[in-house]
Amino acid sequence: MLTKIAGGITAPQGFKAAGVHAGIKKNGNEDVGLIYSTVPAAGAAMFTTNKMAAPPVQVSRQAIERGAARAIIVNSGCANACTGEQGLKDAQVMALETAKALNIDACEVLVASTGVIGVPLPMDKVKAGITQAAAALSENGHEAALAAIMTTDTFKKSCVYEFKLDGKTCKIAGIAKGAGMIHPNMATMLSFITTDAAIAPAILKKALSEAVELSFNMISVDGDTSTNDMVTVLANGQGGNELITSTDSPAYQEFYAALKVVCTELAQLIVRDGEGATKFLEINVTGAGSFADAKLAAMAIAKSPLVKTAFFGQDPNWGRILCAVGYSGAKSEPEKTSLDIGGLTIVSNGQGAAGFDTDKLKEVMAAKDIAITVFLGMGEASATVWTCDFSYEYVKINGEYTT
Amino acid sequence: MLTKIAGGITAPQGFKAAGVHAGIKKNGNEDVGLIYSTVPAAGAAMFTTNKMAAPPVQVSRQAIERGAARAIIVNSGCANACTGEQGLKDAQVMALETAKALNIDACEVLVASTGVIGVPLPMDKVKAGITQAAAALSENGHEAALAAIMTTDTFKKSCVYEFKLDGKTCKIAGIAKGAGMIHPNMATMLSFITTDAAIAPAILKKALSEAVELSFNMISVDGDTSTNDMVTVLANGQGGNELITSTDSPAYQEFYAALKVVCTELAQLIVRDGEGATKFLEINVTGAGSFADAKLAAMAIAKSPLVKTAFFGQDPNWGRILCAVGYSGAKSEPEKTSLDIGGLTIVSNGQGAAGFDTDKLKEVMAAKDIAITVFLGMGEASATVWTCDFSYEYVKINGEYTT
């Protein structure tokens, strides 16, 4: 039984958070965030597969190897990416300063950054911000911490759920930032998840990896995989359940279901707030020869600028969807392919559906949430990808980002 | 010695062309084009790799297998793609009607279509157009034929060159259409090349394949590989040179050089007229471990909506270029990577270049033609890709295409 509840990243027991304005962002908003478990916690994380992985990713990747972490220090306004040796030193200093302020070990600190690429961090401001954030840590700090990870996001992305493990009430909460440079591969831009469930690190890692594969790794805003993608989960065991040590246990199934719901909800919120997005598109590819094929086809549709602009303009140019399937690399044959948009059958086994009505399709495309289903007729596998449309506003936001 | 000359697709000896308005396009412009060699000609062609390849592609692919062709019938306004069995019949009827009108065999006719996907051809209009075009064939029909292949193109794309083979003057001419759904893979949207050089079909095929790989296959407007891509070359031998039968001959080198120049010029014209384009970007990736790696990295930059909108907005957000290299799949290491935009060194071996000036970069980005060079430091291979920026106009054109 999974119940949605109010609150934020500090809802699970034993977590505190803070967010402060250190002066990195020009607009005066919070730009240094801190999430902290008052007791040691199991930790797992997934990172970008971008070869230009930013220094904070490098530092966090090493720290999480132990399967434990207690603090996440994050800044927005500067991605500390493509910053060379100095960038790596700066990320290490962020971990060290956080550890010092919290009286913990530097290897217990994960570091994350988001913002402009190629600019060095203003370390004096960052250091002062860390001291200030550590002093401000509280159970009410979740809103400020969430504000501190936002860049071009237009709304806050957060959710909290309660569930039972061995009769004990446990909680799981997550926050995320998104908006642009969203085409995760292993993890999305930034997402931090806390839970007071007790779960062994190796099992936590497996759960995260599977949940991410079906949530964050199934969304795309613009096809650009960021240098700073990171999703982490800290599990501090304060919920009091018996430590989960096997994926075969019913408790694991409960926990995994909760984690997957949080990851999926945050991933979908990222798409809904995609830069310039006016529509939320769910792309289902069914009847594929394999999951990989289904994902290839769904992602090709999700990334196609022609499909995305057609939905923005509510232009019933559905051929572009099948065109994307055709170049996706997925096994397909025109005469076995069917297409359905918002419940309207457009193509059936490669033939235009009888009685198909362009005006009805226009009506369907006027909705804000639209489901597209492509049936390949090649097998039993399926995949669902979420994306948004491509608007004037996307061009505006990204033509004016640094200036 | 290659000399650019005036004229069009009918400049090589023994070629005629025509373009007529058959009523497929709503705007009254030419929409059925015909190109014809008055004598049998060697032919070679390359087609889209899109699995949803349109019926005209299927028909032409089969016809060209003999290594010979005399006529190309093409219509715009309707792509005859995703049209099922009826679409295939319609493409076959286009070849048959053309053959009948010209008193040649149907297997000597190549068929091409471009326009909206998923709509059946209005065959009565097409048939009447074919009869009309065949009657109108002339050496002065090149402009009308060129008009007949345009869709959202804003200018005509054509070039003619003269060169010597065995002391004989030969000519080569090409036309192309482009604008959107441009991310060729084996061939671009539509391009037709004529030459009066004498060359054996197998050799012609090899020359075309190599020239296309370095020209049409090195451009991208929006990353969408069309269902109808096709590039053909007809060589009718009327120039009087000795038949080229080997790639080792100096005549082959002359011919290949001319063909490559024509392909490259047409490919670049397609990019310059990319839907909504305001800038022409040349992306050079050097020091790569292989040509495949260099092309992967260059194409990732060319396809990135974040890079393309940054150039549109003249926003000096150069980190997005390295980010794209990082997720491209090409072998690279941040500390070995260098970046140069318009002659301005931005990053040198992973470190921000000393004295780099954002205002200077803005100035460079204000130009219409901009070269971007990424040095990977992993080997000796290189690749050059051409692309355009991503503007409000692209969104407008593609949100309103069919309606």
Q: What is the pLDDT of residues A282-326, one digit of tens each?
A: 999 999 999 999 999 999 999 888 899 999 989 888 888 998 898
Indicate the residue among B272, B300, B316 that finishes a domain: B272
Q: A170-184, B108-122, B184-198: which range is least confident on average? A: B184-198
Phi-psi region of B62 (alpha: psi -120 to 50; beta: other; left: phi over 0): alpha
Q: Do β-strands A219-220 and A381-388 pair in parallel, antiparallel, or remain unpaired?
A: parallel
| Phi (first) and psi of residue B375, to 5 degrees | -105, 120
Say how many C-beta atoms besides its own lie within 10 A of residue A355's C-beta: 7
Provide the mean pLDDT of chain A: 89
Contacts (Cβ under 8 Å, ≥6 apart) of B163? B1, B2, B3, B169, B170, B171, B172, B254, B255, B257, B258
| CA gyration radius, chain A | 22
Interchain CB distance below 8 Å, A306 and B222: yes
Task: Compute CA A311 distance to the chain's CA centroid, rounded to the nearest angstrom.
Answer: 23
Place of tokens 């592609």: B57
Say how many C-beta atoms besides its own lie within 10 A of residue B255's C-beta: 26
Task: Measure CB to CB from residue A224 to each of B50, B304, B337 and give the nearest one.
Answer: B304
Phi-psi region of B278 (alpha: psi -120 to 50; beta: other; left: phi over 0): alpha
**DSSP H/E element including B3:** strand B3-4
CA–CA gap between residue B194 and residue B43 (Å, rounded)? 9
The per-residue pLDDT for B277 is 87
Chain A hits for B352, CB-CB cut-off 8 Å, are 82-84, 118, 120
pLDDT over 70 (residue A81) = yes
Domain check: are B64 and B117 in the same one? yes
The per-residue pLDDT for A184 is 52
Q: What is this model's ipTM? A: 0.75
Interchain CB distance below 8 Å, B312 and A226: no
Domain check: are A130 and A77 in the same one? yes
Closest CA to A206 of A177, A161, A244: A244
User: Which 8-state DSSP code applies to residue B239?
Assistant: T
Chain B hits for A346, CB-CB cut-off 8 Å, are 118
Q: How far is B228 from chain A (nearest CA, A)?
A: 10
Interchain CB distance below 8 Å, A84 and B352: yes
Domain check: are B267 and B317 in the same one? no
Q: How far is A358 from chain B (nearest CA, A)?
A: 10
Domain check: are B137 and B10 in the same one? yes
CA–CA gap between residue B15 and residue B12 (Å, rounded)? 6
Domain check: are A25 and A41 in the same one? yes
Domain check: are A291 and A212 in the same one? no
Domain check: are A301 and A162 in the same one? no
User: Which 8-state DSSP code applies to residue A281?
Assistant: E
**CB B394 within 8 Å of CB B222:** yes
Chain A hits for B319, CB-CB cut-off 8 Å, are 79, 81-82, 116-119, 227
Interchain CB distance below 8 Å, A315 and B225: no
Indicate the residue among A227, A253, A272 that finishes a domain: A272
Chain B hits for A304, CB-CB cut-off 8 Å, are 222-224
CA–CA gap between residue A248 and residue A246 (Å, rounded)? 5
CA–CA gap between residue A250 and residue A327 (Å, rounded)? 42
Chain A hits for B391, CB-CB cut-off 8 Å, are 395
Active site residue ranges of B: 188
**Domains in chain B: how many in total?**
2
The residue in chain A having the minimum alpha-carbon distance to the alpha carbon of residue B338 is: A82
Question: In a 10 Å sphere around its CB, with 0-12 CB exposed, 13-18 middle and 19+ buried, how is residue A123 labelled?
Answer: middle
CA–CA gap between residue A172 and residue A4 (Å, rounded)? 10
CA–CA gap between residue B182 and residue B169 (Å, rounded)? 34
**CB B159 within 8 Å of CB B265:** yes
CA geometry: angle at A44 spanning A41 and A48, to 5°?
Answer: 145
Domain check: are A380 and A336 in the same one? yes
Contacts (Cβ under 8 Å, ≥6 apart) of B250? none
pLDDT tens digits for B351-368?
877 777 889 999 999 999
The residue in chain B having the minimum alpha-carbon distance to the alpha carbon of residue A391 is: B395
Chain B hits for A185, CB-CB cut-off 8 Å, are 327
CA–CA gap between residue A40 and residue A70 (Å, rounded)? 6
Domain check: are A148 and A115 in the same one? yes
Interchain CB distance below 8 Å, A303 and B84: no
The residue in chain B having the minimum alpha-carbon distance to the alpha carbon of residue A321 is: B117
Question: In a 10 Å sphere around its CB, with 0-12 CB exposed, 13-18 middle and 19+ buried, how is residue A210 labelled?
Answer: middle
**Choice between A191 and B402, residue whose per-residue pLDDT is larger:** A191
Q: What are the E-state strand segments in A323-379?
A: 338-341, 344-348, 351-352, 369-375
The first and second tokens of residue B170, run together, are: 């030969």
Question: In a 10 Å sphere around its CB, with 0-12 CB exposed, 13-18 middle and 19+ buried, how is residue A371 labelled?
Answer: middle
| CA gyration radius, chain B | 22
Q: Which domain holds residue A345?
A: 280-399
Q: How far is A40 from chain B (nearest CA, A)?
A: 34
- Identify from B113, B318, B320 which residue to disrupt to test chain A contact, counting A C-beta atoms within 10 A and taking the largest count: B320
Interchain CB distance below 8 Å, A402 and B180: no
Q: How far is B135 from chain A (nearest CA, A)?
A: 34
User: Which 8-state DSSP code applies to residue A242?
Assistant: P
Interchain CB distance below 8 Å, B334 and A51: yes
Closest CA to B3 of B212, B262, B237, B193: B262
CA–CA gap between residue B93 and residue B116 (Å, rounded)? 19
Q: How far is B42 from chain A (nearest CA, A)?
A: 30
Interchain CB distance below 8 Å, B395 and A400: no
Task: Measure CB to CB from residue B309 to each of A82, A337, A398 and give the nearest one.
Answer: A398
CA geometry: angle at A97 spanning A91 and A101, to 5°?
Answer: 150
User: Amino acid identity, residue B173?
Assistant: A
Kindly state the percentage of chain B with pLDDT values over 90.
Answer: 57
CA geometry: angle at B143 spanning B94 and B252, to 5°?
Answer: 80
Domain check: are B81 and B123 in the same one? yes
pLDDT tens digits for A340-371?
999 999 999 888 777 788 889 999 999 999 99
- Identify from B49, B52, B304, B387 which residue to disrupt to test chain A contact, counting A C-beta atoms within 10 A and taking the largest count: B52
pLDDT over 60 (residue B116) = yes
CA–CA gap between residue A377 and residue A381 (Å, rounded)? 10
The first and second tokens of residue B148, run together, are: 């007949």
Output the domain CATH number for residue B202.
Answer: 3.60.70.12
Indicate the residue among B241, B272, B303 that finishes a domain: B272
Domain check: are B245 and B288 in the same one? no
User: Amino acid identity, residue A378?
Assistant: M
The first and second tokens of residue A400, run together, are: 């004016």
Burial call A134-158: b when 16+ CB within 10 Å, e when fewer: bebbeeebbbbbbbbbbbbbeebbb
3-state helix, strand, coil in chain B (%, to 5): 35, 25, 40
Active site residue ranges of A: 188
pLDDT tens digits for B31-84?
999 999 999 999 998 888 788 888 999 999 999 999 999 999 999 989 898 888
Task: Measure CB to CB from residue B313 to each of A83, A337, A399 and give the nearest one.
Answer: A399
CA–CA gap between residue B108 and residue B72 (Å, rounded)? 9
pLDDT over 90 (residue B136) = yes
Domain check: are A159 and A181 in the same one? yes
pLDDT tens digits for B230-281?
888 889 899 999 999 999 999 999 999 999 998 888 888 888 888 788 999 9
pLDDT tens digits for B181-226?
665 543 346 888 889 888 999 989 998 888 888 888 777 776 666 7
**Choice between B57 and B401, residue whose per-residue pLDDT is larger:** B57
Interchain CB distance below 8 Å, B52 and A322: yes
Q: How far is B102 from chain A (nearest CA, A)?
A: 32
Task: Measure CB to CB from residue B312 to each of A50, A314, A399 and give the nearest one.
Answer: A399
pLDDT tens digits for A112-159?
998 888 889 999 999 999 999 999 999 999 999 999 998 878 888 899
Bridge partners for B371 per DSSP? B282
Kindly state the percentage of chain B with pLDDT values over 70.
Answer: 96
Closest CA to A327 of B118, B47, B137, B128: B47
Output the domain CATH number for residue A317.
Answer: 3.10.20.340
Q: Provide DSSP, B306-362.
A: HHHHHHHTT---THHHHHHHHHSS----GGG-EEEETTEEEEETTEEPTT--HHHHH
pLDDT tier for residue B142 given thresholds of 50, 70 and 90: very high
The interaxial angle of helices B55-63 and B84-102, nearest 10 deg, is 50
pLDDT tens digits for B8-32?
999 999 999 999 999 998 889 999 9
CA–CA gap between residue B383 and residue B385 (Å, rounded)? 7
